Amino acid sequence: MNTLTAKDFLTIDDFDIGDRTILVRVDLNSPMSPGGGILDDMRIKSHIPTLMDLEDAKVVLLAHQSRPGKNDFTTMQLHADVMSSSLGRKVTYIDDIFGTHARDSIASMEKGDVILLENVRFYSEESLRRPVDEHQGTHMVRKLAPLFDIFLNDAFAVSHRSHLSITGFSGVLPSGAGRLMEREITSLDVSLKGSESPCIFVLGGAKVDDSLKVAEHVLSSGGADRVLVTGVVANVVLAASGVDIGGPNMKFIESQGYLDQIDKAKNILERFDGKLGFPRDVALNDNGERIEANIDDVASSNLPINDIGLETIVAYSSEIENAKTVVLNGPAGVSEIEGFEIGTSEIIKAATNAGYSIAGGGHITAEVRNMGYEKMFSHISTGGGACIDYLAGDLLPGIEALKVAAKRYREFE
């Protein structure tokens, strides 16, 4: 179970950052066009508050773009240009990570300078998942660490991975959370530990195992009063409840390797009677046409379920908008197909009326932004996998490393 609190890690406020040289791990990983342009600068802009608070320091940024083998695995030059525009001052791109060029550039920095080093995943050891002490002995850490006074992790979205640049520096430098990381932890903790009742989680999308793990965790810990399911998650729960969801939908569940999750869903239904809400009707896709159907009529239709039905939308929306706390993760249907985005959009609208609203995960946050509702949510998480792991009660290596670093720092103060 995740027991991290604001007192377990250090933040920018715990350090004297004036004229210090600070290494900051950020997450600038952005969708790229075939021509190499950045399609969405949301993640880049999310780090601006951290950089603004470090304006009196010398700041060096470590980041990645994509991973080896992908078409968008490229340099960080364009990211530096976009960040410069967002920040309002020059962010200098250095086409090196820890070689002589990078180290000389860092050594010659002046107060207020910001440098973005090369894509950290160009270094093969970056993505190796291994113990923190092994990361600390790598060439990257041994070459860069002596040049810095402080390390800040502001990359929540990749902190569920024990990668070198996420955990390697926290053992050898005074370390804390940047503003984005701090906001992610404190905001998500509202839903897990400090939420007002009723607290409702709405879990959808196609990652059934992750969503059921979250549902089990928040219901057993008392973090949620109700969990409402949509998407493929709902199909699995419907099957677990005894509903015949039809051949196409069972075949899809099987193709994704989620047949075993039906028994898990059945166990959750039995353990938490009435607390796991599932659809009473659905929208079927008949060659692109939306067909409303009661769940009892799905099997005979032999059509795929692509959204929750209108009756369910009304029932879910009523619960959501009257809740004190709402967490959305995953779309309600195949929202990229016209006519099947209704469930997702209506749930998002309802969440804006809740007391405290959180959207976590790539698909649902993208829909929130597309609808122009970003400012109407209390918190939009930048993490997909990291967000759902945190909500499921898993310990994120990047955050745990900051926790250990804070304890060590306080012992030697």
Instruction: For residue range 323-369, list pLDDT tens digits in order.
Output: 999 999 999 999 899 999 999 999 999 999 999 999 997 789 989 99
pLDDT at residue 130 in the model: 86
pLDDT at residue 411 in the model: 84
- Residue 245, pLDDT above cutoff 60: yes
- Mean pLDDT (whole number) for 232-252: 97
- Mean pLDDT (whole number) for 31-42: 91
pLDDT at residue 2 in the model: 44
Percent of the chain clearing pLDDT 70 (strictly above): 97
pLDDT at residue 413 in the model: 67
pLDDT at residue 3 in the model: 43
Residue 160 marked in a binding site:
no
Query: Same domain, yes or no, for 249 and 132?
Result: no
Sign of the dihedral through C-alpha 368, 369, 371, 374: positive
- Mean pLDDT (whole number) for 251-256: 97
- Residue 158, pLDDT above cutoff 90: yes
Tell me the residue type at 216. Answer: E
Residue 378 is assigned to a structural domain of this protein: no
* Strands (DSSP E) found in 168-271: 175-177, 199-203, 226-229
Residue 363 marked in a binding site:
yes
Q: What is the dihedral of CA 249, 255, 258, 262, to 10 degrees?
A: 40
Query: Same domain, yes or no, for 16 and 163?
Result: yes
How far is the C-alpha of 253 from the C-alpha of 305, rounded, in Å?
Answer: 12
Report the run of H or E that residue 289 belongs to, with start and end. Answer: strand 289-294
- Residue 231, pLDDT above cutoff 90: yes
Residue 28 marked in a binding site:
yes
Percent of the chain clearing pLDDT 90 (strictly above): 90
Residue 23 is assigned to a structural domain of this protein: yes
Q: What is the pLDDT of residues 368-397, one digit of tens each?
A: 999 999 999 999 999 988 999 999 999 999
pLDDT at residue 4 in the model: 42
Name, in order, each residue with C-beta under 8 angstroms of 73's C-beta and a sequence gap of 6 or more: 65, 66, 67, 119, 121
How far is the C-alpha of 126 from the C-alpha of 197, rounded, in Å?
Answer: 42
Q: What is the pLDDT of residues 276-297, one digit of tens each?
A: 999 999 999 999 999 999 999 9
* Residues 49 and 12 sit within 8 Å (Cβ to Cβ): no
Model confidence at 317, pLDDT cuts 50, 70, 90, reads: very high
* Residues 307 and 334 sit within 8 Å (Cβ to Cβ): yes
Residue 46 is assigned to a structural domain of this protein: yes
pLDDT at residue 384 in the model: 87
Query: Same domain, yes or no, for 232 and 161?
Result: no
Residue 377 is assigned to a structural domain of this protein: no
How far is the C-alpha of 329 from the C-alpha of 392, rounded, in Å?
Answer: 12
- Residue 40, pLDDT above cutoff 60: yes
| CATH code, 284 | 3.40.50.1260
Query: Same domain, yes or no, for 149 and 48?
Result: yes
- Residue 312, pLDDT above cutoff 90: yes
Query: Same domain, yes or no, for 210 and 289?
Result: yes
Residue 67 marked in a binding site:
yes
SS3 state of residue 30: coil
Query: Same domain, yes or no, for 113 and 249?
Result: no
Residue 186 is assigned to a structural domain of this protein: no
What tokens does 224 get? 């949620």
Residue 364 marked in a binding site:
yes
Residue 8 marked in a binding site:
no
pLDDT at residue 191 in the model: 85
pLDDT at residue 6 in the model: 46
Residue 200 marked in a binding site:
no
pLDDT at residue 82 in the model: 97
Residue 25 marked in a binding site:
no
Model confidence at 54, pLDDT cuts 50, 70, 90, reads: very high
Query: Same domain, yes or no, for 403 and 296?
Result: no
Residue 371 is assigned to a structural domain of this protein: no
pLDDT at residue 80 in the model: 98
Model confidence at 192, pLDDT cuts 50, 70, 90, reads: confident
Residue range(s) defining the domain that contains residue 322: 197-354
My answer on whether omega of the bond before 198 falls inside 30° of 0, hence cis, is yes
Structurally, how many domains does the chain consist of?
A: 2
- B/e letters for 241-274, b = 16+ CB within 10 Å, e = fewer, are eebebbebbbebbeeeebeebbebbbebbeebee
pLDDT at residue 5 in the model: 45
Residue 362 marked in a binding site:
yes
Residue 128 is assigned to a structural domain of this protein: yes
Query: Same domain, yes or no, for 41 and 143?
Result: yes
Query: Same domain, yes or no, for 202 and 170?
Result: no
Residue 79 is assigned to a structural domain of this protein: yes
Query: Same domain, yes or no, for 166 and 201?
Result: no
- Mean pLDDT (whole number) for 173-196: 92
Residue 166 marked in a binding site:
no
Residue 255 marked in a binding site:
no
Query: Same domain, yes or no, for 339 and 399?
Result: no
- Mean pLDDT (whole number) for 54-74: 96
Query: Same domain, yes or no, for 33 and 60?
Result: yes
pLDDT at residue 216 in the model: 97
- Residue 194, pLDDT above cutoff 80: no
Residue 89 marked in a binding site:
no
**13, burial (CB in 10 Å: exposed 0-12, middle 13-18, buried 19+):** exposed
- Residue 31, pLDDT above cutoff 70: yes
Q: What integer best gives the mean pLDDT of the chain?
A: 95
Residue 379 marked in a binding site:
no
